[in-house]
Amino acid sequence: MAAKLKTAIFGATGYSGLELVRILERHPRVEKPVLLRRPGDSSANSRTGDAGTTPNDLAEIFPELSGNGGYPLRAMSWSELKRQGIELVFLATPHEVSRALVPEAIVQGLRVIDLSGAWRLKHERHRAVYGFEDVDSAMAAMLMERAVYGLPELNADCIRKAQLVANPGCYATSVILALVPLLSAGVVDREHGIISDSKSGVSGAGKSPTPRTHFAAVADNLSAYSIFEHRHLGEITEQLGLDDEQLTFTPHLLPIPRGILSTVYVRLNRAMTVAEVDDCLRDFYAGRRWVRVFPTQKLPQLQFSLHTNYCDLGFRLAEDGQRLIMISCLDNLMKGAAGQVVQNMNWMYGWDEGEGLH
Amino acid sequence: MAAKLKTAIFGATGYSGLELVRILERHPRVEKPVLLRRPGDSSANSRTGDAGTTPNDLAEIFPELSGNGGYPLRAMSWSELKRQGIELVFLATPHEVSRALVPEAIVQGLRVIDLSGAWRLKHERHRAVYGFEDVDSAMAAMLMERAVYGLPELNADCIRKAQLVANPGCYATSVILALVPLLSAGVVDREHGIISDSKSGVSGAGKSPTPRTHFAAVADNLSAYSIFEHRHLGEITEQLGLDDEQLTFTPHLLPIPRGILSTVYVRLNRAMTVAEVDDCLRDFYAGRRWVRVFPTQKLPQLQFSLHTNYCDLGFRLAEDGQRLIMISCLDNLMKGAAGQVVQNMNWMYGWDEGEGLH
Amino acid sequence: MAAKLKTAIFGATGYSGLELVRILERHPRVEKPVLLRRPGDSSANSRTGDAGTTPNDLAEIFPELSGNGGYPLRAMSWSELKRQGIELVFLATPHEVSRALVPEAIVQGLRVIDLSGAWRLKHERHRAVYGFEDVDSAMAAMLMERAVYGLPELNADCIRKAQLVANPGCYATSVILALVPLLSAGVVDREHGIISDSKSGVSGAGKSPTPRTHFAAVADNLSAYSIFEHRHLGEITEQLGLDDEQLTFTPHLLPIPRGILSTVYVRLNRAMTVAEVDDCLRDFYAGRRWVRVFPTQKLPQLQFSLHTNYCDLGFRLAEDGQRLIMISCLDNLMKGAAGQVVQNMNWMYGWDEGEGLH
Amino acid sequence: MAAKLKTAIFGATGYSGLELVRILERHPRVEKPVLLRRPGDSSANSRTGDAGTTPNDLAEIFPELSGNGGYPLRAMSWSELKRQGIELVFLATPHEVSRALVPEAIVQGLRVIDLSGAWRLKHERHRAVYGFEDVDSAMAAMLMERAVYGLPELNADCIRKAQLVANPGCYATSVILALVPLLSAGVVDREHGIISDSKSGVSGAGKSPTPRTHFAAVADNLSAYSIFEHRHLGEITEQLGLDDEQLTFTPHLLPIPRGILSTVYVRLNRAMTVAEVDDCLRDFYAGRRWVRVFPTQKLPQLQFSLHTNYCDLGFRLAEDGQRLIMISCLDNLMKGAAGQVVQNMNWMYGWDEGEGLH
């Protein structure tokens, strides 16, 4: 067997980073990743509450990792990374940090998968979403162009050759995968408008303690937020070739730690049968192992996809044959983040798409 | 002060019944209600698990009631009820039981508030929903006609004089109250279709233990169910004067004990401003204390209405001025069931609408 | 009926404060309380997340309160309070704030119920618990002496005449009420040691968002904390006349918003029968309406006491007649905080102990 | 590499069975197991609620399994199993079913790991616990003697050679692993009595819907049950060489799907230091990878061990050096059931103890 790939992770101290560490650890073709400390990252937000101290090992922040031999957090320059033979870097950092780090990594000849939103949006109309300057630099402009949106069910070919993969948002993955077969088949009445009523567990909001993530504010509750203005909206419309006004996207915060369920409402432009819709989905996802199209008489539930890399799809069609409701479920930390990262890596290195993900 | 009203409850052993007992107990104009045992009601489903024994007191089933002096469960004939001076009977029984009991009670001259769906639907097209024979009897046919749909924000005048009030479904209350001001104002594009994506806590599914209500099947989960075929659909369209196809209603089961949040999607038939929508809601609900229209910059959350009789409304309007999203929250056991029962009773007896409900 | 009592609350922006506002609002002998803003209290920690703005009304922080006519937050001097006829002040403030405010209030002739731990501990050995200077002032020393521990089941006579009532801790109430009948009866083997394994919902940890109270750190979890060093330990041993070493107290954080269940392990100094233990409890709590002693064949569950002012007690006795396990349940925001405050107030003003608490 | 082991599972339709299927699927030395249908097993209790139909594939009951190629449920005779080369059978069946099936399997020369309590207890004093006849047959008596209690941290040598392994109870594993190092070291005051206050998630109560496992009865609740009479008590005392009266074991039902935390109270027979206790634990578990002894300044939390095969241990020692509190956490479906099964299998076949468990 060939030598194992060497990788490094910036930002392993968040939920997605932890999940990524856990997957890579079991991946047969990858060495245990180098964990990089960001300058000034004091990681006070650990559950253990040891504010102010800088952890030297990820297991100090996530005691669940202890017993597997250590996860040292290192400070390291790009050139040092190169010298150590690292080829691929994962960024699980806030978008403004990713925006700053990625050009440096690319210049060094490293390949990058970025989990933030920093490099996902191409259209000028979305430039303001993440608050970056019009074009912050020629390098950034070029990278923006060359970054590949890392949804393998859409872009596997580009991902294979990409130097910079922008890993999709969790909500975006859930909505795009529900819609793309129907839109590709040209059966959607776009003018009528599409609605995605999406519900997410709390880990999607990050690990920082805020009034919104306080247990008592989430438990026994449900709330809608960022209606008409969530950052993932542009990501979805760009990938699906929709005008922004053609999609209404309503996120809700669920009282569960993880998982997303999107209920997507579509008007078909002609009456279809259940079998036709089913065929449309199955044809599109034939050979795509990480999307499970449920039998027509069943619907996926959020729970079924937890701790897996699957996106589960099901649907119901009204008697009129035109009102279609898609149900799309995934684990926001897996197919919505770290699992998809690994799926992308598998494509980038020509490995089986399922490697390390079962 | 006048003598207190005497009432009786059939079916106090369920969640809504318990809630009703608790409210009536604090109501200044009502005596502690007589609790009626249904023939053959063994109530084995108590949390205390004493299957097989017939409880003699509601506190045996709900130990939270103990300490307040006893809640005897009695078997009693209609004539005995009359003799004891009882004027009003509450039925918190399954719809087929209500269907059988109500005519008997009406014949005796009792007034009735029925919490089941048995008497809510008027249109022929909905006759099959609860599985009753086409018209099961002349008496039933007449009662069907005369039963008043017990949503005081719509029907206060009829409720005041009603002998039989059909208390609305929990989902139905949530959706109707969100939509009725806009539909009344004639600003909704009905042809475009209305969508209510509704989410409910588990108590809405009743107290019987089933695979669907098992803790492990609900916790860390979310699931859609009964899409295009939920019983409350007809109730909503009848009250709102919609064709059934004009409303898409999607219920979901939330991992919380109680509460409903409906996200309702409406296309306005002309561009409106936020202030206009706000006015429309406030005008309609002026003087209606149990609907709280939130300030335009805030949205209600499910939690805010728990353990209250409020239905909370808020909205967001897209920049195009036509895509409107209503958020409607209530406690399914209060405004969605027992609270609304008491609100109806207050109207029936000419009392203040808030009596006993704070 | 006599004129209603005028009261004021410092610190209504926390969980206990909110609960207190809600109870007082329904209390027939008390006016709607004046809500006092603390200097510098920006209350950024609201769920609505409007950091940085100073709320002018409690309903801005707790939207669940809206619709009842306004809860203005006021800044007011002690003398102004007096001038307005306020007689009783409630402090739901951190202990160091209470320590500073109480002497000022007392000097003005106000009566005070303090929900913090500032004035609960009398013994020198516990002086360090809340970090106050040995004796911070002569006034403080005197108040420390005169403050009455506000557990009406123990101290009703003193509470009646008290100027300063130190409202007990939530855990402390749960443990003391489980143990005091047995200790009073002299049937406990103190030398053997008593253990209270206590479990509390998250509201006990306050409203500030911290890593420990983040939803994802609490949900699907249970953790023990502050073993051998929790502040309530001294409170319990002082009230029960135990040496600190005679009680082992282990708090745990439950994944629920509210409620405490304590499992208390006692060795009896002689073999007793179930009936004898039952009699001991019932005799002690005869006439005490806020403690419910469960029938011997039943055990209280945490859920039964939620949203009530009850402390529920039950027990199991080993065959040897000496190993006794008490189960004690209460709502930490009611009998463990705001409910008990009102119970104390009822005693202070000679009203029925249940007034306003049903 | 040698040919893979062929195995079969009876009772894969429960929670432990599902977990076992998932682990075996990833185990590098085992073929995908044959799933056996019990005669008359209609498995109506699936979440999908298709009561009355007999599923042909485990993925019909657990849709989360779909997409991996099928999990047919088969009816098969013992001789057929033999003919197919199956060597090891797992029983995830109720104890009375295991009691009936095991002798048949043993006679056929199969090795068996039984997850039920049927073969765990050796002492005459515990014979009644599972309701079996005094000695139901000579065969049963012999098997009772020869069955090995499958806790590898105690009995690895016997497990290696065992034909019948009785997999320990989940609570029992949690309590035994907390206590055995101290008892072995002879530092525990047994006469003083040991207390285990244990808390378990709902999956420990099985998949059958009952009033006790209804979501609304578990959520926002905590309850103690089976005090002084839980079946695991005898298992623990037998393994630890205690008299039944020396251990007080109090199970509680937590509002979470899975996980156990036991808080174990021990009186040491002499004052010890923290370092001494720590050494005692570390010495005992040296080389035992599935027990993690936490650093003395940290405590395990239930969450840390979820979805792993670890039992996590931590402790706190009172200043007197004698009152010791052990915290023991594990996942009841992993180290408390299916994970431990696989750990036992690894020992039985001489493989690395961690094979398939990461």
Of B197, B219, B303, the CB nearest to A221: B303
Of D222, D248, D325, the CB nearest to C261: D222
Best C203, C213, C214, C333 residue to mutate vs chain A (most A CBs within 10 Å): C214
- Classify residue A353: in a domain, yes or no: no
Tokens found for residue B31: 């005596």
Q: Which residues of D are annotated as catalytic?
A: 170
Asked whether residue B67 falls in the same domain as residue B197, the answer is no
Q: What is the pLDDT of residue B76?
A: 87
Tokens found for residue A61: 């922040």
Asked whether residue C191 falls in the same domain as residue C207, the answer is yes
Task: Render pLDDT for A5-40 as a digit per residue (tens, 0 to 9).
Answer: 999 999 999 999 999 999 999 999 999 999 998 654
Residues of D in contact with C252 (CB under 8 A): 199, 261, 263
Contact C326, C178 (CB under 8 A): yes
- Classify residue A356: in a domain, yes or no: no
CB of C255 less than 8 A from some CB of A? yes
Q: What is the mean pLDDT of residues A257-266?
A: 98
Residues of C in contact with D325 (CB under 8 A): 224, 227-228, 248, 250
Asked whether residue A253 falls in the same domain as residue A320, the answer is yes
Asked whether residue D181 falls in the same domain as residue D71, the answer is no
Is C158 a known active-site residue? no
b/e burial code for range C152-190 (CB count within 10 A of at least 16 → b): bbbbbebbeebbbbbbbbbbbbbbbbbbbbbbebebbeb
Task: Render pLDDT for D14-31 as a digit per residue (tens, 0 to 9).
Answer: 999 999 999 999 999 999
Q: Which residues of B are annotated as catalytic?
A: 170
Of A44, A45, A218, the CB nearest to C215: A218
Q: Is the pLDDT of residue A72 over 70?
A: yes
CB of B90 less than 8 A from some CB of D? no
Beta strands A323-330; B7-10: pairing state:
unpaired
* Residue of chain C with shortest Cα separation from A215: C215
Of C66, C67, C304, the CB nearest to B64: C304
Asked whether residue D93 falls in the same domain as residue D156, the answer is yes
C245–D327: do the CB atoms touch at under 8 Å?
no
Asked whether residue D179 falls in the same domain as residue D317, the answer is yes
Task: Render pLDDT for A48-60 as a digit per residue (tens, 0 to 9).
Answer: 444 456 789 999 9
Q: Is the pLDDT of residue D82 over 70?
A: yes
Task: Render pLDDT for B191-249 as a digit per residue (tens, 0 to 9).
Answer: 999 999 999 999 988 888 999 999 999 999 999 999 999 999 999 999 999 999 999 99
Ranking A121-135, B276-290, D79-93 by mean pLDDT, the lowest is A121-135
CB of C76 less than 8 A from some CB of D? no
D67–A292: do the CB atoms touch at under 8 Å?
yes
- Classify residue C247: in a domain, yes or no: yes
Residues of D in contact with C257 (CB under 8 A): 220
Q: What is the pLDDT of residue D49?
A: 44
Q: What is the CATH number of the domain that holds C209?
A: 3.30.360.10
CB of C213 less than 8 A from some CB of A? yes
Asked whether residue D68 falls in the same domain as residue D99, the answer is yes
Total domains in chain D come to: 2
Asked whether residue D51 falls in the same domain as residue D123, the answer is yes
CB of A208 less than 8 A from some CB of D? no
Bridge partners of A73, per DSSP, are A35
C-alpha to C-alpha distance for B142 and B164, rounded to whole angstroms: 11
Q: Is the pLDDT of residue C160 over 50?
A: yes
Percent of chain C with pLDDT over 90: 81
Q: Which residues of A are annotated as catalytic?
A: 170
Residues of C in contact with A257 (CB under 8 A): 215-216, 219-220
Q: What is the pLDDT of residue B47?
A: 43
- Classify residue B58: in a domain, yes or no: yes
Q: What is the pLDDT of residue B42?
A: 45
Neighbours of C141 (CB within 10 A): 12
Cite the DSSP H helix spans in chain A: 15-26, 58-61, 78-83, 95-107, 138-146, 152-161, 170-184, 215-218, 232-240, 274-285, 339-348
Q: What is the pLDDT of residue B134?
A: 53
Nearest to D352 by CA among D282, D289, D283, D306: D289
Asked whether residue D198 falls in the same domain as residue D116, the answer is no
Residues of C in contact with B207 (CB under 8 A): none
Ranking A179-188, D52-61, D63-72, D105-114 by mean pLDDT, the lowest is D52-61
Residues of A in contact with D55 (CB under 8 A): none
Q: What is the pLDDT of residue B307?
A: 96
Task: Render pLDDT for C100-121 as a digit per residue (tens, 0 to 9).
Answer: 999 999 999 999 999 999 999 9
C222–D259: do the CB atoms touch at under 8 Å?
yes
C259–D224: do the CB atoms touch at under 8 Å?
no
b/e burial code for range A40-62 (CB count within 10 A of at least 16 → b): ebebbbbbbebeeeebeebbbbb
Nearest to A14 by CA among A232, A258, A214, A208: A208
CB of C289 less than 8 A from some CB of B? yes
C-alpha to C-alpha distance for A340 and A333, rounded to whole angstroms: 9
Question: Distance (Å) from the C-alpha of residue B223 to the closest C-alpha of chain A?
Answer: 5
Question: Distance (Å) from the C-alpha of residue D219 to the closest C-alpha of chain B?
Answer: 7
- Classify residue D185: in a domain, yes or no: yes
Q: C touches which chains (3+ CB pairs under 8 A)?
A: A, B, D
The DSSP symbol for C180 reads H
D222–C252: do the CB atoms touch at under 8 Å?
no
Asked whether residue B49 falls in the same domain as residue B163, the answer is yes
b/e burial code for range A65-92 (CB count within 10 A of at least 16 → b): bbbbeebebeebebeebeeeebebbbbb
Task: Render pLDDT for C182-215 as a digit per residue (tens, 0 to 9).
Answer: 999 999 999 999 999 999 999 988 888 999 999 9
Tokens found for residue A352: 């089986």
- Classify residue B356: in a domain, yes or no: no
Percent of chain B with pLDDT over 90: 81
- Classify residue D357: in a domain, yes or no: no
C-alpha to C-alpha distance for D269 and D272, rounded to whole angstroms: 9
Question: Distance (Å) from the C-alpha of residue B112 to the closest C-alpha of chain A?
Answer: 33
- Classify residue A155: in a domain, yes or no: yes
Beta strands B311-317; B323-330: pairing state:
antiparallel
Asked whether residue C87 falls in the same domain as residue C197, the answer is no
Sorting pLDDT into bands at 50, 70 and 90, what band is B1?
Answer: low
D214–B217: do the CB atoms touch at under 8 Å?
no
D202–B219: do the CB atoms touch at under 8 Å?
yes
CB of A46 less than 8 A from some CB of C? yes
Asked whether residue A270 falls in the same domain as residue A185, the answer is yes
Percent of chain D with pLDDT over 90: 81
Task: Render pLDDT for B99-143 as a digit per residue (tens, 0 to 9).
Answer: 999 999 999 999 999 999 999 998 888 878 887 765 567 888 889
Sorting pLDDT into bands at 50, 70 and 90, what band is C136?
Answer: low
What 3-state class would DSSP assign to A356? coil
Mean pLDDT of chain C: 92
Residue whose pair of structure tokens reads 């003598």 in the numeric block = B3
Domain that holds residue A288: 170-332
* Sequence-ordered list of residues with C-beta below 8 angstroms from that of C11, at least 6 positions apart, any chain: C17, C38, C91, C92, C93, C97, C115
Q: What is the mean pLDDT of residues A291-309?
A: 96
